[in-house]
Amino acid sequence: MSDPSSPARTVRAASRALDIIEAVAAARRIKHTQIATQLGIPKSTTTQLLETLVEAHYLRRDPESRTFSLGSRILGIAGRYLAEQDIVQVTQPILSRLVTELDESCFLVVGEEDEAVVLWREICQRRLTYTMALGERVGLTATASGLALLAFRDPATWPMVVSREIADPPARTAILAELPRVAAGALARREGYVEDVASLALPLFDHGGRAIAALSVALPTARLEAERLGQIEAALRAAQGEAAGRLGYRGPFRTAA
């Protein structure tokens, strides 16, 4: 009689447990008999493995439908993996394609406290363009990317941030009126911080739905006619969707006017 604790049997049990987890992940919800049939595992063995996985919170069992789905422990592991992905590595090829498509300078920006920080950039080849240095910091209200990030913070903090950075009352009022639109999905737009330069941006969300960065395009206001604005917004939304897939965000995306 073979020893149930032998290394070979332990490895086989571990392999089967992983196969079960993958089968559940693929099906989202699946019954005991379906797992056993699909993987060719004896029902008694399947029962033991499922019980172990449920007890360890790798799977959960719905008592009403008698189906199994992924448990909190798997979701926690997935979340930690996604959180560790280098956002520059994820978005750099997206930014590169974006600057090729638009022939305008594009930026990846993150928020640190009340500042927007340039994490990566792709500069276009036009003679007349706008650029920011890697690591350059500006106030959150200075650029569209900063507004895109600020809009997804606690609205109670908006007046304090805006009043600290903008002295002109009408300008403060305009920014505070714009933030709810951006939070509802509108394209963030900022002009005037740098003379004759406009910036447009959309937030990037992680697997948990947090706005962790923003993609932006900066260009001379003279090139921002209505048709060009539509082209840039369409390209930014496509880039936002591609980045979301790589960062684990499954939507929905809001597209307020």
- Average pLDDT on 214-222 reads 93
Arithmetic mean of pLDDT over the chain: 89
Query: Per mean pLDDT, which range of 81-85, 167-171, 185-189, 234-238 is the poorest?
Result: 81-85
* Alpha helices (H) in 84-157, listed in sequence order: 87-102, 144-150
pLDDT band for position 11 (50/70/90)?
A: confident
Beta carbons of 146 and 128 less than 8 angstroms apart: no
- Average pLDDT on 8-18 reads 87
Tens digits of residue pLDDT in 121-146: 999 988 878 888 888 889 999 999 99
Q: In terms of residues, how long is the chain?
A: 257
- Average pLDDT on 18-28 reads 90
* Cis status, amide bond into 180, omega within 30 of 0: no
Nearest in space to 247 (alpha carbons), one of 86, 32, 77, 10: 86
Query: Which residues are registered as beta bridge partners of 30?
Result: 68
Residue 74 DSSP SS3: helix
- Average pLDDT on 15-36 reads 92
Report the share of the chain in percent with pLDDT over 70.
Answer: 93
- Average pLDDT on 48-66 reads 93
Residue 226's pLDDT is 87
Residue 81's pLDDT is 62
Could you give the angle at which helices 43-55 and 7-27 cross, rounded to 10 degrees? 80
Beta carbons of 168 and 141 less than 8 angstroms apart: no
Q: Is the pLDDT of residue 255 over 70?
A: no
Q: Which residue has the tokens 């499922």?
A: 50
Does the global pTM surpass 0.75?
no
- Average pLDDT on 138-162 reads 95
